[in-house]
A and B are shown apart, each in its own frame.
Chain A
Amino acid sequence: MATFWFQKTHEYIAEIDGDYRVGISEFAAQELGDITFIELPEVGAAIAQGESFGTVESVKAVSDVYAPVDLEVTAVNEELADEPEKVNADPQGDGWFIKVKLSNPSQLGALMSKADYDAMNKEAG
């Protein structure tokens, strides 16, 4: 069972069987359109909350992605290099960006629940 937290800039962090994954939300993937390129950090990189850890490029736009919490990268989704379209197909599943270790787990409490995040997008809609 996965638990998702979101932040305003449309990244999520998900806890799945004790592992944490970071990626971009379904809403963000839809807004960006066809994704053609993803740049991800090195394994071992330490990234502070709010810092950019990579870029997502769609046909029409380039966006930075920001760490939702202080984290250390334990794995990157290597498949995205050849198949960036996986992010469009399943952003909150197979299209995850990085697996991470949390440096400061209490930061999760300040992120949005799925319900709050959906409500934010609807309001902005």
Chain B
Amino acid sequence: MDATTKKTPLYDTHAKLGAKMVDFAGYMMPVWYPTGIVKEHLAVRNSVGIFDLTHMGEFFIKGERAFDFVQHITCNDVRKIGNGGVQYTLFPTPEGGVVDDLLVYQINPEYYMMVVNASNIDKDWAWVNKHNDFGVELINSSDRYSLIAVQGPRCEEVLAAAGFEDVAYDHPFTFRRLKRGGKRVYLCVTGYTGERGFEIIIQNAGAQPLWDDLMAAGAEMGLTPVGLGARDTLRLEAGMCLYGHELDDTTSVMEANLNWTVGWDKDFLGKDVLVRHKAHGTDRLLFGLVVEKKLGSPRPGARVFAEGTDVGVVTSGSYSPSLDKNIAFCYLRPAICEAGRELAVEVRKKQVPATAVKPPFVRHRLFEHKY
């Protein structure tokens, strides 16, 4: 850990729980607890888990032209959501790459929040400032806010027991602003697991009491602390992109199969390239692979082959606790992207059989209420 590595307000809590801590994007974060990645993962799928995601960045955008600014700098159309709505979107570049993927929260058309990847906070901050031709006020609150996520089919029970009101009425991709212990809270019905879940953004001073309240309230439901290791296996099963793997400065939104995030009826930075990609197609598309458990897991950089020809490369790969198989995201030639197609992939320098699948690998269950 170097001197600039940051600790979240929950650092001591993780240490007490016996977490293995790693430096992730400049923050000391729990990668797993003594429970282990597989059990943490399955707790989220079958019951409920709690995550410290304080490393994520929070920007605020204020001003008369905040709506115009958000419309200009992101590819999704913020007109699709209203006040209290959340939208998955990206910062495309005019060269056809992606600066980051993020969530946009509309407080009102003159006031937005953005939650960005920890590893990209500095780059994103420079990007939004560079493209602020709208006279909006930009505020980087990343160091002032903590983020605690509660994910899994029993999430509403935990929040209700911890004193959050009316959570049974909350809808995926919405948020509410409220106060808890005098601290500003954004209660967001969002996540990165494919399960029902909440992400609670709270001023740093409120993080420890909130964690403690949730842990006490969730004891009965088996609320399990979950580290970044299982966060990654959960998002991979759910077929969600991770910046630095599926997305980077050279991947286009269309290649990443994120055409559903493109607002074709508006203008935005980097639209021209995406229009061309839509009209003429791309040389590669994001797709999935499944490999039998005993053959081992494909890892990033592994080549993919169809009848002996190199047709692509793995971007993320892991053992999937839900499927008890190995799964991987890969960029493939578009002609190869056909579910069920038999391919081969490198695993530890040998080629092993793999089956092409269209992600997600595990069905999303955001709308299956249990509460």
Contacts and interface: CB of A to CB of B under 8 A. Distances in A.
A114 B122 CA distance: 46
A33 B31 CA distance: 10
A35 to B, nearest CB: 10
A57 B229 CA distance: 14
A39 B20 CA distance: 25
Interface stretch (B106-114, B206-214, B289-297): B289-297
Interface stretch (B32-40, B81-89, B196-204, B333-341): B32-40
A32 to B, nearest CB: 10
Contacts, number: 45
Interface in B162-191: none
B327 to A, nearest CB: 12
Interface in B1-46: 20, 31-32, 36-39
B18 to A, nearest CB: 10
A58 B20 CA distance: 14
A85 B245 CA distance: 28
Could you say which of A36, A39, A57 has the most chain B C-beta atoms within 10 Å of its C-beta? Answer: A36
Contacts of B266: none
A37 B319 contact: yes
Contacts of B79: none
B229 A36 contact: no
B144 interface: no
Interface string B319-345: 101000000000000000000000000
A33 B233 contact: no
B294 A59 contact: no
Contacts of B321: 59
Nearest to A59: B37
Interface in B300-321: 318-319, 321
B229 A33 contact: yes
B32 A57 contact: no
Contacts of B36: 33-34, 88
B319 A59 contact: yes
B299 A62 contact: yes
Given A59-B229, A60-B31, A37 B296 contact: yes
B293 A37 contact: yes
A57 B37 contact: no
Contact of A37 (B31, B37, B294): B294
B276 interface: no
A113 interface: no
Contacts of B232: 60
A59 B233 contact: yes
A66 B202 CA distance: 47
Contacts of A60: 31, 37, 229, 232, 318
A37 B317 CA distance: 14
A34 B33 CA distance: 11
B363 interface: no
Contacts of A55: 296, 348
Contacts of B348: 39, 55, 62
A119 interface: no
Nearest to B228: A60
Interface string A40-68: 00000000000000010111101000000
A108 B361 CA distance: 48
A57 B20 contact: no
Contact of B319 (A31, A36, A88): A36
A42 B229 CA distance: 32
A37 B319 CA distance: 9
Given A33-B32, A33-B229, A59 B296 contact: no
Contacts of B39: 34
A88 B37 CA distance: 12
A37 B297 contact: yes
Interface of A: 31, 33-34, 36-37, 39, 55, 57-60, 62, 81, 88
22 contacts: A33-B36, A33-B37, A33-B229, A34-B36, A34-B37, A34-B38, A36-B297, A36-B319, A37-B293, A37-B297, A39-B348, A57-B296, A57-B319, A59-B37, A59-B233, A59-B319, A60-B31, A60-B229, A60-B318, A62-B297, A62-B348, A81-B294
Interface of B: 20, 31-32, 36-39, 229, 232-233, 293-294, 296-297, 299, 318-319, 321, 348
